[in-house]
Structure 1
Amino acid sequence: MHSEELEIRTGSSEVVRDLTRDCARFLESAGAEDGLLNVWVPHATAGLAIIETGAGSDDDLLAALRELLPADDRWRHRHGSPGHGRDHVMPALVPPYATVPVLGGRMALGTWQSVCLVDTNGDNAARTVRLSFLAG
């Protein structure tokens, strides 16, 4: 198994950050052939999604999360900025992990799929992402 940690600056706004190039660089440096890429975010308020980016789907995902999980005072978890409790519920919908098949050293993603970090928590400006390659 080969692993690496990335620090991703997400800033103080909701963000969908495309990690696909970072994942590809990691696989190249790991000398990956066939196996599985596991992507893990060790945070209680961030997740990973495999979605299309650049055509509005990333913004649509954030809009859907705002609609499903409004940043208001309904949440029992109340530390941090107003509505922060929703950030702790978000990983139940957008999980903190993703596993992608790797064939010939490349992720077997569909044409429009990207591996993305989803962070709705403006209170935490930096995220750790752990990449692990398991050879098959």
Structure 2
Amino acid sequence: MKLQEKISRNNFLKQLGFTGASLLAIYGLDSCVNESGTTPIGNVTVDLSAAENAVLKNNGGYKVINSIVVANNNGTYVAATLTCSHEGQRQITFSNKEWYCTAHGARFDTSGKGLNSNGSKGLTVYQTSLSGTTLTITS
């Protein structure tokens, strides 16, 4: 390619019709999402007697349901968002009686309070209630 054929990135974008304002509008669209990185869940019910939820009968067992991590913590059910507040990774698990992000090691207690610097922003947790074998999770 000859030097005369090369154009700057700015000129290229201008030729495409992109100006600084339109680029800001495009990149700014994601600012309209929930800043916590989580979506309100309403009510989610889990049938604990169903075979696919058998892992939840075990102490420390957890399962991801609709972007929610549900866990059995010594017979009490706890639930949190799958999305870590550290860098938005969807890698929250339940281990050693706490929430843990496998991406960067953020740790949170079962109430969502951060336990290390990567978890300092906290974690969204949800209310749980048990009626018979039906677990209800609400935001």
TM, length-normalised to structure 1: 0.27
Q: Considering Cα pairs closer than 8 Å and 6+ residues apart, tell me whether 1 or 2 has the greater RCO.
A: 1
TM-score by length of 2: 0.27
